[in-house]
């Protein structure tokens, strides 16, 4: 079962989706390709999206409210990441970028020990189905410019400024492998 419902945020309505395993979708409801994204998820899950809530969507809504109030800087809601093995590695790694930090695509590729895969990593990030929680907004261009955010660059900027206002480590340089707080294999 693929349950979906809307969540109100200070930067627009979001459409969230979850299975019994966890959240598999969180997009701003006004993005141009929202129907295509839902259809792709339905195909992967072999399930139709239906309106409803489950424990994962309820928890997501609570955590998003806390995040937007500046009371939460790390999400703990269960996720059901969808994608190829490569995309899953990228998505999971994104979840370890600390709140208030951002990296260029090149830095992120280097941290993942794939310095020659910047474009492939950028393409994978573009397929992220769980905005905000899987923080693709924390990855920026090499020159620091905001690039590539399906919710719109104004929202990416808003999210970064929101995190910057409450995080002491925003834009701390230089980056290191330890900045992605996970055990690398």
Q: Is 166 helix (H, G, I), strand (E, B) or coil?
A: helix
Whole-number CA gyration radius for the chain: 16
Which residues does residue 50 pair with via DSSP β-bridges, in sequence order?
Answer: 3
Catalytic residue annotation: 136
Return the exposure string of 139-169: e unless at least 16 CB atoms fall within 10 Å of the residue's CB, then b: bbeeeeebebbbbeeebbebbbebbbeebee
């Amino acid at each position: 079962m693929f349950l979906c419902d809307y969540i109100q945020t200070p930067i627009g309505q979001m459409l969230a989706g979850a299975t019994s395993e966890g959240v598999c979708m969180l997009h701003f409801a006004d993005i141009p390709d929202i129907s295509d994204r839902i259809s792709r998820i339905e195909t992967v899950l072999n399930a139709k999206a239906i309106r409803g809530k489950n424990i994962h969507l309820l928890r997501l809504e609570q955590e998003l409210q806390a995040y937007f109030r500046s009371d939460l800087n790390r999400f703990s809601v269960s996720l059901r990441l969808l994608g190829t093995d490569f995309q899953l590695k990228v998505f999971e790694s994104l979840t370890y970028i600390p709140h208030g930090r951002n990296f260029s695509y090149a830095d992120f590729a280097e941290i993942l020990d794939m310095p020659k895969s910047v474009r492939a990593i950028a393409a994978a990030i573009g397929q992220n189905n769980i905005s905000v929680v899987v923080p693709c907004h924390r990855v920026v261009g090499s020159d620091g410019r905001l690039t590539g955010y399906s919710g719109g660059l104004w929202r990416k900027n808003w999210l970064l400024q929101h995190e910057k206002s409450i995080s002491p480590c925003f834009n701390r340089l230089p980056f290191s492998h330890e900045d992605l707080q996970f055990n690398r294999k």
